[in-house]
């Protein structure tokens, strides 16, 4: 199974994390502006270290079932976000992504998601990829729609985050519908 992965998009690069990324990662998963939309609460430095260690450990498992990659700009190796596909079911994967708040609105998440989904269909042979998005997360819903994902329905009380249950809107893309 592939390790290490490095995939280049139009404006971003997706690459494996390293322990040098702790401060950049903390700037993302330690920021309430970002995590309020995610399925976990904000994390501290120790948890950021543990997150990277866990990611690297799972990345080396055979077979590899998690593709949790740092997002960088093409000309700068600092991590400005992450994109993740976790395999689940038959040739199926779950997509997630986040970008540091100071870099929002520049198209990085759209490019990161498009690049990872294309990789997953083409190189990992996936058939179906889903994204479960909070109903109020307009930016993320815009990304799913722009990439051509189909809205399937609502998952009720799907995640417990920030002290309460939250629904998700489920979007999916199928390999034969994907334009690359
Ligand atoms: C969602 C998120 C990843 C978007 O990152 P980004 O790099 O700013 O996204 P993009 O620049 O690619 O923009 C995506 C679309 O959302 C729109 N958008 C961006 N910020 C927005 C906002 N605050 N409100 C409404 N729409 C917004 C953009 O206009 C763009 O749509 P368009 O191309 O049709 O104009 C980022 O806001 C984030 O990290 N949020 C917190 C974590 C999260 O929600 N992750 C997804 C969980 S499902």
* Separation of alpha carbons 13 and 76, rounded Å: 9
Which pLDDT belongs to residue 178?
96
Structure confidence by residue, pLDDT tens digits, 139-179: 999 999 999 999 999 999 999 988 999 999 999 999 999 98
Q: Which residue has the higher pLDDT, 125 or 39?
A: 125
Q: How far is the CA of 144 from the centre of ligand 1 (A)?
A: 10
Q: What is the DSSP letter of 5?
A: -
Position 39 confidence tier, pLDDT thresholds 50, 70, 90 = confident
Structural domains in the chain, CATH included, are 6-177 (3.40.630.30)
What CA–CA distances, in Å, run from 28 to 37, 97, 112, 149, 169?
12, 11, 15, 25, 23
Answer positive or negative: Cα dihedral of 92, 148, 38, 57: positive
With H, G, I as helix, E, B as strand and everything else as coil, classify residue 105: coil
Residue 1 pLDDT greater than 70, yes or no: no
Structure confidence by residue, pLDDT tens digits, 93-131: 999 999 999 999 999 999 999 999 999 999 999 999 999
Structure confidence by residue, pLDDT tens digits, 45-85: 999 999 999 999 999 999 999 999 999 999 999 999 999 99
Pocket of ligand 1 (CB under 6 A): 34, 37-38, 96-99, 104-110, 131, 133, 137-140, 142-143, 146
With H, G, I as helix, E, B as strand and everything else as coil, classify residue 173: strand
- To test the pocket of ligand 1, the residue of 105, 130, 139, 162 to mutate (highest count of ligand atoms within 8 Å of its CB) is 139
| Helices (H) then strands (E): counts for the chain | 5, 8
Up-side HSE of residue 18: CA atoms within 13 Å toward CB?
8
**Rounded percentage of the chain residues whose pLDDT exceeds 70:** 99
Is the bond into 25 cis (omega within 30 degrees of 0)?
Answer: no
């Amino acid at each position: 199974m592939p390790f290490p992965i490095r995939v280049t998009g139009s404006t971003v690069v997706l690459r494996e994390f390293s322990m040098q990324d702790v401060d950049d990662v903390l700037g993302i998963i330690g920021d309430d502006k970002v995590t309020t939309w995610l399925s976990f609460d904000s994390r501290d430095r120790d948890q950021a270290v543990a997150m990277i260690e866990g990611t690297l450990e799972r990345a080396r498992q055979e077979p590899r079932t998690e593709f949790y990659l740092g997002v960088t700009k093409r000309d700068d190796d600092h991590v400005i976000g992450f994109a993740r596909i976790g395999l689940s079911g038959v040739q199926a994967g779950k997509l997630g992504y986040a970008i540091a708040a100071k870099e929002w609105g520049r198209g990085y998440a759209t490019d990161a998601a498009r690049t990872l989904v294309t990789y997953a269909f083409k190189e990992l042979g996936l058939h179906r990829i889903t994204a479960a998005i909070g109903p109020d997360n307009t930016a993320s819903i815009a990304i799913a729609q722009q990439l051509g994902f189909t809205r399937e329905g609502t998952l009720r009380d799907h995640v417990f985050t920030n002290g309460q249950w939250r629904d998700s809107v489920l979007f999916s893309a199928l390999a034969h519908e994907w334009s690359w």
